[in-house]
A = this chain, B = another copy of it.
Amino acid sequence: MSFSLHPRLVSDFHLLGRNGALHVLLQRNAILPWFILVPETAALELFEVPAVLRRELNSVADRLARFVKRHFESDKINVAAIGNIVPQLHLHVIGRRRDDCCWPQAAWGHVEGTRAYSEQEQAILTRALVSEHLLEARNTP
């Protein structure tokens, strides 16, 4: 199947890598720990995702949520499939804290401020995701 990520996802997110049939992305704005999982499917709604891929998506989303909660000391994990702007099916996994930019509002349309991840932060995060089997290790040339 020919599959490419939606340009809006590519522009707003770091493409961290893959986990099986899922792409693992990290919002470039580090003001909130905001991941998305993009399953390789033409389905636009969660209920249209083939069963095997859906189980994979749920399983990785759950493990990612646990990781985010621990790694970022989040008070609450927000999980959502919205897709009003980017129709390509993607699942948000966002770590929220009572002291973050926009608590207790939902993140969409309420984020204030921007910050970039440093290269070191990205490297630490990527290593942690690989060691948790949330991200496949990439062979560097």
Contact = CB atoms under 8 A, between A and B. Distances in A.
Contacts of A85: 104
Interface stretch (A23-31, A75-83, A121-129, A132-140): A75-83
A77 B45 contact: yes
Contact of A76 (B58, B69, B83): B83
A84, A85, A110: most-surrounded residue (chain B CB, <10 A) = A84
Q: Give the size category of A's interface with B.
A: 20 to 34
A104 to B, nearest CB: 4
Contact of A45 (B65, B82, B106): B65
A96 B44 CA distance: 14
Given A76-B84, A79-B80, 19 more contacts: A44-B76, A45-B76, A45-B77, A47-B65, A47-B66, A47-B77, A58-B58, A76-B82, A76-B83, A77-B81, A78-B80, A78-B81, A78-B83, A80-B106, A82-B106, A84-B103, A84-B106, A105-B108, A105-B109
Interface of A: 44-47, 58, 61-63, 65-66, 69, 76-85, 87, 96, 103-106, 108-110
